Amino acid sequence: MADDAMEAAKKRLAEERKASDKSRADYAERMKGKPTPTQEENDLAVLGATFTEHEDDGSGPDPHNFSPKHLEAEKPSASRYQTRQAHTTTSHRSE
């Protein structure tokens, strides 16, 4: 019974190490590149320089940066649908 517990513990430890190694590898992949803003950009900003774009950090395109799309409804044509005409009847009597 002690051998079964030892084997189960070793198996669980191996699984945890595998998950931990994968997590570390994923983290290292995400952290590739250099920081933005760079230290040089920070130093220049302290001296009054302004930036509209930062130096490329080498990480590739931002997966969360969605380009805005200009959406506009289609112009309706007379053949696509028919509008109703509102007819009002006035029954005002002057008495």
Residue 24 counted as domain residue: yes
CB 20 within 8 A of CB 33: no
Residue 76 lies in a domain: no
Structural domain contains residue 42: yes
Its pTM stands at 0.37
**pLDDT tens-digit profile of 69-93?**
666 777 766 566 666 776 666 665 5
Task: Sort residue 85 into left (φ over 0), alpha (ψ -120 to 50) or beta.
Answer: beta
Confidence bin at 41 (pLDDT 50/70/90)? confident
**79 lies in a domain?**
no
Task: Using the predicted structure, report yes or no on whether residue 36 has a pLDDT greater than 90.
Answer: no
pLDDT tens-digit map of 8-17: 999 999 999 9
53 within domain boundaries: no
Q: Could you tell me the residue range of the domain that residue 34 belongs to?
A: 2-46
Helices (H), the chain: 2-30, 39-46
- Is residue 68 assigned to a domain? no
Average pLDDT over every residue of 25-36: 79
- What are the backbone dihedrals phi and psi of residue 22, each rounded to the nearest 5 degrees, phi first? -65, -40
Residue 83 belongs to some domain of the structure: no
76, HSE (Cβ side, Cα atoms, 13 Å): 5
Number of domains in the chain: 1
DSSP state of 65: -
Residue 59 forms part of a structural domain: no
